[in-house]
Amino acid sequence: MNKEISINTEKFSVVLGASGSLGLSLVSHLVEKGEKVRAVTRTPASYWDNPAEIVLADISTLSGAEKACIDASVVYNCVFPPEIEHVIKVCLKNRSKLILADCLSIYDCGSGPMNETTPYLVNNRETAKRRVLLENLLISTRKSHNLNFVIARGSDMFGPGVIVSTMGSTIFRNALAGRSSTLIGDIDLPHTYTYSKDFAYAMEQLGTSDKATGGVWHVPSAPTLTTNQFLDLIYTQAGTLKKVRRLGQSTLNFMGIFNRQIRAAKREKLYQFENPFVSDHSKFSKTFTENITPHEIAIKETLDWFSSY
C-alpha cells in the first residue's frame, strides 16, 4: 500500500541560495508581497536585513534538502551551479513547485535572438553539458513522477551583490574608482544584461502562476545594448572616465598557455562575445506582466550598493 502524502495547503515559499544576489532580491520581493518565506543558505550574508526565517542547510545532502524545503508550496533554487538531486526528491514528497534559476549559456547565439526553442550549443563546454543533463533530469522526472517545475533563464546578470559575472563587482568597483576594466571579445556587439531584481520578480510570477509549468521561460530584461554602451552608462553614472582593455582570441590563446582559468573562460564564454548575444523574452511578455527596470535606474542602484559594501 502506498503511503499517503500530506499536501501543505499554506502558501509558503523557500528560497535556496538566499545569501546570493538573486536569492536576496527574491526574498525581499516575496516578503514585500506579504508571503511567508524561508531563506536557506549555508552561511548568512553580512548585509542581511530581511525579516524572513533563515535556515542554514546544505542542500547537497538529503537531510539538508529536507530541512530546507519541508512544507514548502514553492521552492526557488537560486544556487549556482544548482544542487538539485535531493531537492527534487523533497519537492516530489511535498508536492512542491520547483523554480530553477538558470542562464542562457546553453544556447547557440549565432542564429539570432535566443528564445526558448533556440538550439543548444554544447560541444566541449562543461557548463552547457551539465545544464543539458539537468534539464533532461527534470523532464524525465516530470514524465515519471509529475514533477511541477519551471526553468527561469536570464542573460548575464548584474545588480546589488552580483560578484561573479561579466558585469559583476569588478566592473562596478572599477568604475567607482576610475580604474580600467578588462573584457573579452567584441564589446561593440549587442549583448543582453539582466537585472537581478527583475529576474527575481519574474521568478515569483512563474512560481505562483499555473500558467507556467514543466518548461523553460526567459525572464524579462531591459532593451539590449552593446557591451560598450552598457559600460558607458556605468562609468557615466559613476562619474569617472571609461577605460577598457579588450582581450581578443589571440591574446587569450597566449595567456591560456599559462593560466587554466583563462583557458576555461575562453572555452566557456568567448563565443558569447564574438556573436550578438540577445535574449528574446516575448513568451513571458505575452503571458505575464513585465517588471523591467530601466538600465539607468538599475545601474544607479547597483553602484549605490557597491559604494556601501
Question: Chain-wide mean pLDDT for the chain?
Answer: 90
Under CATH, which number does the domain 12-158+194-221+278-292 receive?
A: 3.40.50.720
Query: What's the average model confidence in pLDDT over 285-308?
Result: 97
Per-residue pLDDT band at 270 (split at 50, 70, 90): confident
pLDDT at 169 over 60: yes
Per-residue pLDDT tens digits for 74-124: 999 999 877 899 999 999 999 999 999 999 999 999 889 999 999 998 887
pLDDT of amino acid 21 = 93
Give me the helices (H) in 33-145, please.
Answer: 62-69, 85-94, 126-145
* pTM for this entry: 0.91
Per-residue pLDDT tens digits for 124-161: 777 888 889 999 999 999 999 999 999 999 999 999 99
pLDDT of amino acid 9 = 45
Query: With left for phi above 0 and alpha for psi between -120 and 50, is residue 298 left, alpha or beta?
Result: alpha
Q: Could you give the CA distance from residue 281 to residue 254 in angstroms, rounded to a whole number?
A: 37
Q: At what angle do helices 85-94 and 126-145 cross, to 10 degrees?
A: 20
How would you list the strands of the sheet with 36-41, edge to edge? Answer: 53-56, 36-41, 12-16, 74-77, 97-103, 149-154, 215-218
pLDDT of amino acid 111 = 85
Q: Could you give the CA distance from residue 85 to residue 131 in angstroms, rounded to a whole number?
A: 13
Residues 212, 206 contacting (CB under 8 angstroms): yes
Query: What's the average model confidence in pLDDT over 48-59?
Result: 85
